[in-house]
Amino acid sequence: MSLSMNPRRWLAAYLAAVVALTFVHQPWLLAALLALALACGSSERWRLLRRALKAVLAFNLSVSLGYLVVALWQDRFSGHYLLLVNLRVLLLVYLGFWFVGRVNLLQALAFSPTLSFLAALAVGQVAAFTRIVRDFRLAFASRNCAAIALADRARHASAQASHLFDKSICSAADTAMAMRSRGSFDD
């Protein structure tokens, strides 16, 4: 089956699964679907599950605790609801990570030239930002053995922010010129 699945079909299947899951209101069924998704997953399944758990933990904990307090206070607590919402969110996020890990997002969006064009630019810039921030952090740490004063930190942050803008605009300008040379801005 996977041989006939191109990125676009994977995207459609993923979106259909997401919509279908929001119509399921039985925790046992969601738990079974999560187990099925894990069983069908690759060797990365436990890493993806840990990632999904970490991604939803803060939000779900805050909502679940809030619900617990309010529902107990109003005497209408439902354990079914807590199980339902937490399993649903975990399964949706796991599926999202699994989809992105398996399918090239830019290829999946290729059905829309505008969307894939914007996505390519944004993904490229995100990578450039990540690299620059890491380089600055390492350079700053390597040049300061003692505790760093707040004023120095502020100067560093300001220099880093300006460089970040200029550098990323330069690198995006390179991309835009390359696209211009390939006729991207021609009608």
Partner 1 sequence: MHIPDGFISPQTYLPAYALAGVAWSWAARSLRDQLDEQTVPKLAAMTALAYGLGLVMVPMPGGTSGHALGVAMLALLFGVRLAFLSYSLVLMLQSLLFGAGGITALAINALAMGLVGSLAASLVFRALRRFGDTAAVAAAAWCSVMLPALIVALVLGLQPLIAHGADGAPLFFPFGYSIVLPAVLAPHALIGVGEAVLTLFVWRFARMRRWSLA
Residues that bind partner 1 (CB under 8 A): 15, 18-19, 22-23, 25, 51-52, 55-56, 58-63, 65-67, 70-71, 76, 78, 80-81, 84-85, 88-89, 92-93, 96-97, 99-100, 105, 114-115, 118-119, 121-126, 128-129, 161-162, 164-165, 168-173, 175-177, 179-180, 185, 187
Q: Judged by CB, which is closer to partner 1: 122, or 144?
A: 122
User: Which tokens go with 17?
Assistant: 């699964």
Q: Judged by CB, which is closer to partner 1: 53, or 141?
A: 53
Cβ 172 to partner 1 shortest distance, Å: 3
Q: Judged by CB, which is closer to partner 1: 45, or 51?
A: 51
Alpha helices in the chain (DSSP H): 7-21, 27-40, 45-73, 79-102, 105-108, 113-142, 150-181
Q: Judged by CB, which is closer to partner 1: 137, or 180?
A: 180
Cβ 51 to partner 1 shortest distance, Å: 8
Cβ 16 to partner 1 shortest distance, Å: 11
Nearest-5° Cα angle at 50, 46 to 52? 115
Q: What are phi and psi of 136, to 5 degrees?
A: -65, -45
Cα first-last separation, the chain: 39
Q: DSSP secondary-structure letter at 146? A: S
What is the distance between the alpha carbons of residues 117 and 184, in angstroms, rounded to a whole number?
9
